[in-house]
Structure 1
């Protein structure tokens, strides 16, 4: 079963002060916070802390992992594997990513998709970057025209690159769902 995942592409390493601010954000939003290594966090996010009132009748604490990766921070092999089949991103987003952050939900209910998008937006507000979201063909018209879109390539698969504002606007669309 696929589950919601978003990637934040970064042009450079995240400074230690920004990692500290990220940690503080995640602690504030979580009922469970475990730091596996600097930049990798196992969490139970309070959906309400992200402004989500409708949790679909389930517990508002949603299991999520946030993982910063790249040279000098950890997860280098994962970063390289995830970017091995990517097209040249520089013409699309203005840089070639050197680091990334994965935001991964461990459940696949509608609320988990919204939590993933809004948590990713909150992380971007702290560390910057550009969100990279794979799309289904039928989602392309839905995201077209939303604020904060940076690029929408269709090859080798449909994707959207955008800002935190884009993620918030997309998450408010009816039947919002991340591809994976």
Structure 2
């Protein structure tokens, strides 16, 4: 079963030295690490490396894919497909994304939602960018006033744009769960 997905929108390509630092972070935080290509990492992240002690009784090694997308790095067609249905993001985030980082969980337990959001925040600490989070309509009021929220939108679907601070604050909310 697939789990939640978050997308970090970027205004430009990630410099190679930053990608190397990201790789090093993921290697240190993982029980299993497979580099598919530069910028694409299939791993089992240690939940405790993100400060998560309650795994809900499941193994703390959670399967995740972290993938840098866009011109010059790879998976350009996936980047284009992901952004084909998006509204013009520049009015909301101040730029039109040219690259992105996808963080994809391969399981859908509550711990996987927390791992996904905290791993995404850690990646953002390295690469910058703005996270694009699809929401349920009932989640808009919950996230609207959290620190680090840049914008919320309802069309074509409910979403929030924000910083790593926003993700960390949201993960602390009662009943936190990402929309798949």
Global fold match (TM > 0.5): yes
How many pairs were matched up?
Answer: 180
2:38 counterpart of 1:76: no
2:65 maps to: 65
Tell me the SS of whatever aligns to 1:17: helix
Matched, 1:18 2:37: no
Aligned twin of 1:106: 106
* 8 Å CA contact 2:2, 2:105 repeated in 1: no
The equivalences for 1:17-96 within 5 A come to 17-96=17-96
User: CA RMSD of the aligned region, Å?
Assistant: 0.7
| 4+ aligned runs moved over 2 Å, structure 1 | none
1:18, distance to aligned residue in structure 2 (A): 0.4
> How far does residue 102 in structure 1 lie from its aligned partner after superposition?
0.4
Tell me the distance in 2 between the aligned counterparts of 1:63 and 1:140. Answer: 28
Ranges in structure 2 where 5+ consecutive residues have no aligned partner: none
Check if 1:133 corresponds to 2:123: no
- Structure 1 residues 6-25: Cα deviation after superposition (integer angstroms, max 9, x where no partner): 00000000001100110011
Q: Offset of 1:88 from its aligned partner?
A: 0.2
SS for the counterpart of 1:53 is coil
Whether the 8 Å contact between 2:64 and 2:103 is mirrored in structure 1 is yes
**1:148 corresponding residue in structure 2:** 148
Structure 2 SS opposite 1:119: helix
Output the CA distance in 2 between the equivalents of 1:38 and 1:174. 37
1:73 and 1:32 mapped to 2: Cα distance?
Answer: 23
Match of 2:153, SS? coil
Question: TM-score by structure 2 length?
Answer: 0.99
Structure 1 residues not aligned, in runs of 5+ = none
Counterpart position of 1:9: 9
Residues of 1 paired with 2:19 and 2:2: CA distance?
Answer: 28
